Structure 1
Amino acid sequence: LSVIRRWHIREGQSIRSIARKTGLSRNTVRKYLNNRNLDPSYPARKSPSKLDDYEKTLTCWLHREVKKHRKQRKSVKQLYQDLVQLGYTVSYDRVAAFARQWRQEQHEAKSTAAKRVYVPLTFAPGEAFQFDWGEDFATINGRKCCLQVAYFKLSNSRAFFLRAYYKQTHEMLFDAHNHAFRVFGGVPERGIYDNMKTAVDKVRSGKQRDVNRRFQTLVSHYLFEAEFCNPAAGWEKGQVEKKVRDARHQLWHTAPKFKTLEELNAWLERQCIELWHRQKHPEQSNLTVAECWRQERPCLMPVPAPFDGYVEETKRVSSTCLITFERNRYSVPASFANQHVSLHVYAAEIVIVAEGKEIARHRRIFNR
């Protein structure tokens, strides 16, 4: 631009002469001379690539791998082979170049903002789910009850699941996981929790936690990794926190009356699945949550047999063949009067065990 202006304005050369020397058309030369912007800027060139359709997926995979120990990370060639299984048809060199550029950008971001803490809220398919408890009200058997609701949300597809209980105890937590993984059709690689007492016995410095032994048994059964947020940092599981708030308007404010808690939970499960089909994914607006869940489901780990989630207590049978639990009495066969028995407490029933055998089973009664 400076050469064209100098030739025309200072040296008096014609537009035809300048066009012949530069190889530009006369209209282009005339446009440059009429333009008052002496420092033009041009948009960055973006050449279309077949990798563009897989760029988001590859970025999520790179975020996931960098969190692992270096000996457990997948190589770029292995990631390329995973992309090929998804339908990618271009060479490995393009994937390797993308990975190099991504690592360079991550390194520059860390060097320029070393003091800033940033937790990415993007997740690969099958990578994580978030869990939280919420408190809501519903009418059951003619009475308005305060319920403790377990909320699950898959971090990638945003599929969610709700199940209501009367208490926030271990057996309720275990039962909620059994039903959530059944509905999701698989188990993600890790779960994100706050520091609830049913999972964490003591919060130590940093990310160190004394995890409850029974909760650790649940984690070992389903083979996922449990991660706990920093204290008072709910934004680290912001997806499920938002779901707790949104569900009050989407579900609880319009909930009908129910005869039993089981009827309420069956209604909640149907409503969740219906909402999957109606709601758009917040990042992929052309897909519904249900469509994203169907894409994520093959990436989930298979669901094993349900976890036997009971809490055990020892009780002494009275002379009237009764045991007391939560201010309620449950009957025991007369042959075990005045003896000690083991009580297996589940979310909805009580199982009484003695001499290694089940001797009685009762529906659990809740005092509301």
Structure 2
Amino acid sequence: MVWGPGDAQIDFGQVHVINADGDDETHSMLVVSFPYSNARYGQLYRGETAECVCHGLQTIYDHIGFVPCLQVFDNATGIGRRVGQIVKESDLFARFRTHHGFHSRFCNPYSGNEKGHVENAVGYLRRNLCVPLPKIDDIHAFNKELLDRCDELLEQDHYRKKDKLSLLHRDDQQAGLPLPVHRFQPVRFDTRQADKDGRIKFENNYYLIGGAYAGRELTISIGAEDLRFFTPDGIQVGRLTRCFTHSATTIAAEQSLLDILVTRPGAFSHSPLRSLMPTALVSALDQASYNDKRHAIKALTATSTACGFDATMNAAEHLLERSQPLSQASLDLLASSAGSIYHPNPAVDLAIYDTLAAS
């Protein structure tokens, strides 16, 4: 097959990584390759859904500065379903394609020549950018760095045309489509009712929003990395990391777990929050009386609601290091200025001026 400038192939490939806890995980790399120039770009995700495809493509478009005019997809990319000779696109992808104005085509089954370039690109990026296994603490930061490293690979010579890949990729850019004026929102929406415990069931997993929403109907914004929960009047009441595998336990945000402890402080002894808190704070709460524990958790919850969980934990650790009580006023003051906790400057030695004056 002949591929012209601006044509692209898209597919997923499996990549092993080390997560923030030091465990081996399998992620999916969305790869966009350009057969004409041999340029290749990738983005890492924990799933292969239409949300992941649309989010990854838009991120790559923004980076390279154009939209490939023809895009050929593997049948298993999560954006369409083939029935016989007909491919039914997902609603999200159909809107995404219309918004960006490109032409799409799905590979015929058993026609490896239609996506041979992207399959080679998957292996190439995996060998060159993911060996040894990358340790990922922040997948967004990793993906940003991944795009920059893909740019560096463009300084190589084309294996057959002998020109630099970066020069040939300019032909792709000139033949491509301009970026749309308005960005596409790569999410879909669904409506679910919370159970008596304030949990929402989505894709065989339970997500805890909070007891205050028990029995209420909420709208879910389903994205590539997270789920956001909204009341009927549009107020966001929760945001949780999307789980792409079955979880044996309920998935909960730190804030939701704190809200539970306000009314049940005795449950702190077996709360999942213990592993997310500074060791000194866990120890202090374990040793506190029931009333002191209840007051401390109430203060932590209020500050976390206003300033965020991480900032609140840093503030609590700062107070405990100085043997100060966990009052809400102190937590609010430190957490609201997270990252700018006052550290006194060392005293200035004025002795040098005495020496100068005497000379």
In 1: Cα distance, 2:63 partner to 2:103 partner: 20
Residue of 127, 130, 136 corresponding to 1:258: 136
Give the letter aligned to residue 177 of structure 1: L
Identical-residue share of aligned pairs (%): 22
Which residue in 2 is equivalent to 1:303? Answer: 179
Residue of 343, 348, 351 corresponding to 2:228: 351
- 1:241-264 CA-to-partner distances (Å, cap 9, x unmatched) read 111122232122234423232233
In 2: Cα distance, 1:367 partner to 1:215 partner: 19
Contact kept, 8 Å, 2:30 with 2:42, in 1: the verdict is yes
Give the letter aligned to residue 158 of structure 2: H
Q: 1:226 to 1:319 in 2, by over 3 A?
A: same
Q: 1:140 to 1:238 in 2, by over 3 A?
A: same
In 2: Cα distance, 1:146 partner to 1:218 partner: 27
Q: CA deviation at 1:365?
A: 4.5
Contact kept, 8 Å, 1:341 with 1:353, in 2: the verdict is yes
Which residue in 2 is equivalent to 1:294? Answer: 170
Give the letter aligned to residue 171 of structure 1: E
Q: Give the secondary-structure state (helix, strand or coil) at the position aligned to 1:187.
A: coil
Q: Give the secondary-structure state (helix, strand or coil) at the position aligned to 1:253.
A: coil
Which residue in 1 is equivalent to 2:124? Answer: 246
Within the alignment, does 1:140 sit opposite 2:42 as a pair?
no
Q: 1:151 to 1:121 in 2, by over 3 A?
A: same
In 2: Cα distance, 1:145 partner to 1:214 partner: 28
Unmatched segments (≥5 aa) in structure 1: 1-119
In 2: Cα distance, 1:234 partner to 1:339 partner: 49
Contact kept, 8 Å, 2:207 with 2:240, in 1: the verdict is no
Contact kept, 8 Å, 1:194 with 1:234, in 2: the verdict is no
Which residue in 2 is equivalent to 1:37? Answer: none
TM-score (norm: length of structure 2): 0.62
Residue of 153, 173, 182 corresponding to 2:33: 153
Which residue in 1 is equivalent to 2:189? Answer: 312
Q: Give the secondary-structure state (helix, strand or coil) at the position aligned to 2:28.
A: strand
Q: 1:358 to 1:196 in 2, by over 3 A?
A: farther
Q: CA deviation at 1:179?
A: 0.9
In 1: Cα distance, 2:133 partner to 2:147 partner: 13
Q: Give the secondary-structure state (helix, strand or coil) at the position aligned to 2:57.
A: helix
Q: 1:197 to 1:244 in 2, by over 3 A?
A: closer
Q: Give the secondary-structure state (helix, strand or coil) at the position aligned to 1:245.
A: helix
Q: CA deviation at 1:361?
A: 4.2
Residue of 102, 105, 109 corresponding to 1:231: 109
Q: Give the secondary-structure state (helix, strand or coil) at the position aligned to 2:154.
A: helix
Within the alignment, does 1:269 sit opposite 2:147 as a pair?
yes
Q: Give the secondary-structure state (helix, strand or coil) at the position aligned to 1:254.
A: coil
In 2: Cα distance, 1:325 partner to 1:192 partner: 31
Contact kept, 8 Å, 1:153 with 1:239, in 2: the verdict is yes
Q: Give the secondary-structure state (helix, strand or coil) at the position aligned to 2:88.
A: strand
Q: 1:281 to 1:356 in 2, by over 3 A?
A: farther
Q: 1:353 to 1:147 in 2, by over 3 A?
A: same
Contact kept, 8 Å, 1:140 with 1:260, in 2: the verdict is no
Which residue in 2 is equivalent to 1:75? Answer: none
In 2: Cα distance, 1:161 partner to 1:197 partner: 16
Which residue in 1 is equivalent to 2:208? Answer: 330
Contact kept, 8 Å, 1:317 with 1:332, in 2: the verdict is no
Q: 1:213 to 1:325 in 2, by over 3 A?
A: closer
Contact kept, 8 Å, 1:328 with 1:365, in 2: the verdict is no
In 2: Cα distance, 1:322 partner to 1:148 partner: 28
Residue of 172, 179, 193 corresponding to 2:59: 179
Unmatched segments (≥5 aa) in structure 2: 246-359
Q: 1:222 to 1:174 in 2, by over 3 A?
A: same
Give the letter aligned to residue 179 of structure 1: T
Which residue in 2 is equivalent to 1:24? Answer: none
Contact kept, 8 Å, 2:50 with 2:90, in 1: the verdict is no
In 1: Cα distance, 2:211 partner to 2:195 partner: 11
Contact kept, 8 Å, 2:12 with 2:30, in 1: the verdict is yes
Which residue in 1 is equivalent to 2:284? Answer: none
* Equivalent residue pairs, number: 242
Q: Whose radius of gyration is greater, 1 or 2?
A: 1
